[in-house]
Chain A
Amino acid sequence: MTDELIAISILWGFIFIYAVMATMDFGAGFWSMIYINRQQTNATKIANRYLSPTWEVTNVFIVAIVVALFSFFPRATFILGTVLLIPGSIILLLLAIRSAFLVFAHMAPTYEKVLTYISGVSGILIPALLISVLPITHGEFIETIDGVSRLRLDRLFTSPHEYAFIGFAIASTLFLSSLLLADYSNYADEMEAYQVYRRDALMVGPIAFIMSLLIMVTMRNEARWLYDGMMDYLPWLIASVIMFLVAGAALFLPSMKHKGRKGMPRLAVIAIVLQYFFASYAYGKAHLPYMIYPDVTIQSGFTHPNTFRALFITYIVGFIILFPGFIYFWRLFMKDRRYLQQEKQK
């Protein structure tokens, strides 16, 4: 593997982890807004209990992505930074308001309603804006005149391709988060909440799937090079579809652990994460060597080799130091039944 490939794999790894964590984060905010007036189920509480400790960690991944991008691919950052000024700034403003209110609601419960609406609405807007970076890298919306790149917002927002991505982002956010919350509430033995989120996942899942097909259809017209590339990885796409079907089946099969309970949400979560992983692998491989089509490739945008080597060493050291911290965090908030079931104890 060349240095460039290692670097782009690390970057893609960060993006994938962030995408999964963030869709759950943003989606949890949306669901707690939807179920705010249904006090009989614990659906909102479950969502908030997941959200409270995780958002800070999720937030770090955004910065990690940006840092990995400009340290590995300074040239690509130059162009992306230039064209993303407006959408990037809007994302930043939304994120700032959202995270501030997440903390404030914990400290001052009186503001809880305001928080819930802010985090619910931003939970839909932010993923829609974030995913737009992908169609922008397909190149057709960037115009370069006299060496100055700029984003043609008019072309972007009249393109069916862009809207397919936006629809996909929103549907995926709701799908992944409802699925994870179903698993989370199942683990906490919150049956009512589990039923609610399982039903939501079954509803949104097919929509997310249709949206991904729409992306392919519009891509065929608007980014043919990428479409052809993805077709070379057809087996990966088929595997992705199979995982989607596995997840669907897992939600209907009877639970093996608990008699009389319908569905194996943990299996469904794993299958769906694999589904997205396979599809994003095919997308990413087809996208190479271009970072921004057709001007920037991973080779032309690459950092200085000495810097890459130094960075790579810090990645290994950083990983060794942080890994136990992540495990501990996971055990405290995802596995500890005292935390998951705190309502019942009271």
Chain B
Amino acid sequence: MDHLLTARSLFGTTMAFHIIFATLGVGIPLMVLFAELLYQKTKDRDYAIMANRWTKGFAILLGIAIPSGTIAGVQLSLLWPGFMEVIGKVMSLPFQIEIYAFFVEALFMSIYVYAADRIAPWMRILSVTLVAIGAMASAILITNVHAFEGTPAGFRIENGEIVDVDPWAAFFNPSFVVTATHVVLSAFMTGAFVIASIAAYKMLRTHNHKRLYSFHRKALMLGLTVGGIFSLLTAMNGHESAQLLHEYQPEKLAAAEGLFETQSHAPLAIGGYTDRETQSVKWAIEIPWLLSFLAGNSFDTVVVGLNDFPEEWWPPLFVHTLFNAMVGIGMLLLLLSIIGFVWNKVLKRKEFPRWFMWPVISAGPLAMLGIEFGWIFACTGRQPWVIYRMMKTEEAVTQSTNLGTLFILFTIVYIFLFIAVVLVFKHYFGRHPVENELDKHQNHSLLV
């Protein structure tokens, strides 16, 4: 592997690892909050137990999210010093503000975990809320840096010098709001579907045990409802994201759709793979005119094709597949939510059929895959630029060599941490099965 590719692989691996925990770190606290609120409304102790158990899971995940985030933050300066020099001068505000969000999250997470028995209930809820807000703000601010890389604003480069710096213009760059919204909505969706997956799995295993089954059924309904709402919102916002590409990064949209010739009434290619030789998407289903409509809300919108750009500016053509995978997963999850909604609310059936549990179980992992595909698409589709039309990735990479060894070392540590986190989950929830907590409260209510 050449130097640049090794650097990108190392950083890509760090991000692919971190994003799992970061996404759940944004999604799970929201579910905890919903469970707490439902408990307040229904006074059903099951929801309090859910909130408590999800928080425990969240605390374990945070044990990885914080160090992997620290690695990501420091590795930026170690691997991409050229990029961080520009970021330092122009776009350091989101990083700086993120530190405050990070402090809020760390302070109140410690308070929530280690002082829970000493603080008032309202203070506990406030602490979780602040943790959730801190996590969400971190996600929004770091995504802002990613948005800036695609739609840079607030500076010019003149003879190699950075001039006319306006840090707030850089902060509010054109794609900030849409991109950050996309990341937050999809994280909420993923957190909810992961909860639904676990609940569905448990329902299959406990269908003989009425009390447990009803507990997990409540968790499933909450997960499916929240997941359904946010999958719909994510899809709507995803449409906006694509329109943003059409306006600001046309070659990225062209590569995502495998479109070579600039045209109005452009077709939408679904599936298949992009072939460079024949300049077409092979084995794809083509829906005429649809791409033009999606890009600009009218069939005669002219969509720019790859041939209008010099070939060295083309993103790698496989991003078409990544883009399809991301959108496909989003659509599947939306369909799943609609089926669940129709079954439960329109047909008014109380129980889901057993076979329906299987697609629900796959929803959590699928949503996470969608997040991964989406991020790889978003970052690979920007290549060869690290800052669009301003700085190439190869100009930003470190001049230090021997990245190969580091790549291997970091990968080993990530695998090790991943195994450790799975073991801790098994260990903790194996020792503290939900039966115990349900029994405890039953006995308690009998005594009272």
Pairing of A with B:
yes
Residue B100 is within 8 A (CB to CB) of chain A in the complex: yes
* B111 A332 Cβ-Cβ under 8 A: yes
Residue of A nearest to B163 (CB): A304
CB of A322, distance to nearest CB on chain B (Å):
5
Contact-residue size bin, chain B (C-beta under 8 Å from the other chain): 35 or more
Interface string of B51-93 (1 = CB under 8 A from A): 0000010011011101111110111011101101111111011
Give chain A residues whose Cβ lies under 8 Å from the Cβ of B421.
Answer: 100, 104
Given A63-B99, A66-B73 in contact, is the A339-B88 Cβ separation under 8 Å? no
Given A56-B66, A314-B93 in contact, is the A81-B110 Cβ separation under 8 Å? no
Tell me the complex Cα distance, A338–B114, Å. Answer: 12
* A303 B420 Cβ-Cβ under 8 A: no
Give chain B residues whose Cβ lies under 8 Å from the Cβ of A159.
Answer: none
Contact-residue size bin, chain A (C-beta under 8 Å from the other chain): 35 or more
Given A70-B88, A73-B88 in contact, is the A322-B398 Cβ separation under 8 Å? no
In the complex, which of the residues B73, B87, B93, B104 contacts A311, with contact meaning CB atoms closer than 8 Å?
A: B93
* A88 B92 Cβ-Cβ under 8 A: no
Instruction: Name the residue in A73, A107, A108 with the highest tally of chain B Cβ atoms < 10 Å from its Cβ.
Output: A107
* B67 A339 Cβ-Cβ under 8 A: no
Residue of A nearest to B168 (CB): A310
Q: Which of A304-344 contact B (CB under 8 A)?
A: 304, 306-307, 310-311, 314-315, 318, 321-322, 325-326, 328-329, 332-333, 336, 338-339
Residue of B nearest to A108 (CB): B427
Give chain A residues whose Cβ lies under 8 Å from the Cβ of B95.
Answer: 67, 70-71
In the complex, which of the residues B81, B100, B104, B427 contacts A81, with contact meaning CB atoms closer than 8 Å?
A: B81
Give chain A residues whose Cβ lies under 8 Å from the Cβ of B56.
Answer: 107
* B417 A96 Cβ-Cβ under 8 A: yes
Given A96-B417, A108-B424, A304-B162 in contact, is the A64-B99 Cβ separation under 8 Å? yes
CB of B206, distance to nearest CB on chain A (Å):
24
* A329 B111 Cβ-Cβ under 8 A: yes
Residue of B nearest to A311 (CB): B96
CB of B37, distance to nearest CB on chain A (Å):
24
* B66 A321 Cβ-Cβ under 8 A: no
* A82 B89 Cβ-Cβ under 8 A: no
* A318 B97 Cβ-Cβ under 8 A: yes
Give chain A residues whose Cβ lies under 8 Å from the Cβ of B165.
Answer: 304, 306-307
Residue B115 is within 8 A (CB to CB) of chain A in the complex: yes
* A89 B78 Cβ-Cβ under 8 A: yes
Tell me the complex Cα distance, A336–B111, Å. Answer: 13
Interface string of A213-233 (1 = CB under 8 A from B): 000000000000000000000
Given A104-B63, A325-B108 in contact, is the A63-B78 Cβ separation under 8 Å? no
Instruction: Name the residue in A70, A106, A110 with the highest tally of chain B Cβ atoms < 10 Å from its Cβ.
Output: A70
Residue A270 is within 8 A (CB to CB) of chain B in the complex: no
The stretch from B386-394, B406-414, B440-448 touching chain A is: B406-414
Residue of A nearest to B95 (CB): A67
Interface string of A47-76 (1 = CB under 8 A from B): 000001110110110111011111111110
* A66 B420 Cβ-Cβ under 8 A: no
In the complex, which of the residues A93, A106, A306, A318 contacts B100, with contact meaning CB atoms closer than 8 Å?
A: A318
Residue B344 is within 8 A (CB to CB) of chain A in the complex: no
Give chain B residues whose Cβ lies under 8 Å from the Cβ of A67.
Answer: 73, 92, 95-96, 98-99
In the complex, which of the residues A57, A104, A150, A311 contacts B92, with contact meaning CB atoms closer than 8 Å?
A: A311
Tell me the complex Cα distance, A80–B400, Å. Answer: 11
Interface string of B199-214 (1 = CB under 8 A from A): 0000000000000000
Give chain B residues whose Cβ lies under 8 Å from the Cβ of A73.
Answer: 88
In the complex, which of the residues A59, A111, A318, A322 contacts B66, with contact meaning CB atoms closer than 8 Å?
A: A59
* B67 A82 Cβ-Cβ under 8 A: no
Residue B118 is within 8 A (CB to CB) of chain A in the complex: yes
Tell me the complex Cα distance, A311–B81, Å. Answer: 20
Residue of B nearest to A99 (CB): B67
* A66 B74 Cβ-Cβ under 8 A: yes
Residue A78 is within 8 A (CB to CB) of chain B in the complex: yes
* B81 A77 Cβ-Cβ under 8 A: yes
Residue B166 is within 8 A (CB to CB) of chain A in the complex: yes
Residue A256 is within 8 A (CB to CB) of chain B in the complex: no
Residue A92 is within 8 A (CB to CB) of chain B in the complex: yes
Tell me the complex Cα distance, A332–B116, Å. Answer: 11
Tell me the complex Cα distance, A73–B119, Å. Answer: 42
* B114 A53 Cβ-Cβ under 8 A: yes
In the complex, which of the residues B84, B109, B110 contacts A54, with contact meaning CB atoms closer than 8 Å?
A: B110
* A85 B100 Cβ-Cβ under 8 A: no
* A103 B107 Cβ-Cβ under 8 A: no
Residue A291 is within 8 A (CB to CB) of chain B in the complex: no
Residue B106 is within 8 A (CB to CB) of chain A in the complex: yes
Give chain A residues whose Cβ lies under 8 Å from the Cβ of B110.
Answer: 52-54, 56-57, 329, 333
Give chain B residues whose Cβ lies under 8 Å from the Cβ of A57.
Answer: 103, 106-107, 110
Given A60-B99, A97-B413, A306-B166 in contact, is the A333-B75 Cβ separation under 8 Å? no
> What 7 new A-B contacts, CB under 8 Å, besides A74-B85, A108-B427, A303-B88?
A62-B70, A69-B77, A81-B398, A83-B400, A100-B421, A322-B100, A322-B103
Some 23 contacts from A to B, beta carbons below 8 A apart, are A67-B95, A67-B98, A68-B96, A70-B84, A72-B88, A78-B85, A83-B400, A85-B79, A86-B406, A93-B410, A95-B71, A97-B416, A100-B63, A103-B59, A103-B63, A107-B59, A108-B424, A111-B424, A149-B399, A304-B90, A304-B165, A329-B107, A333-B114
Closest 5 CB pairs of A and B: A103-B63, A74-B88, A71-B92, A81-B81, A96-B67
Chain B interface (Cβ < 8 Å from any Cβ of A): 56, 59-60, 62-64, 66-71, 73-75, 77-79, 81-82, 84-90, 92-93, 95-100, 102-104, 106-111, 113-115, 118-119, 162, 165-168, 398-400, 402-403, 406, 409-410, 413, 416-417, 420-421, 424, 427-428, 431
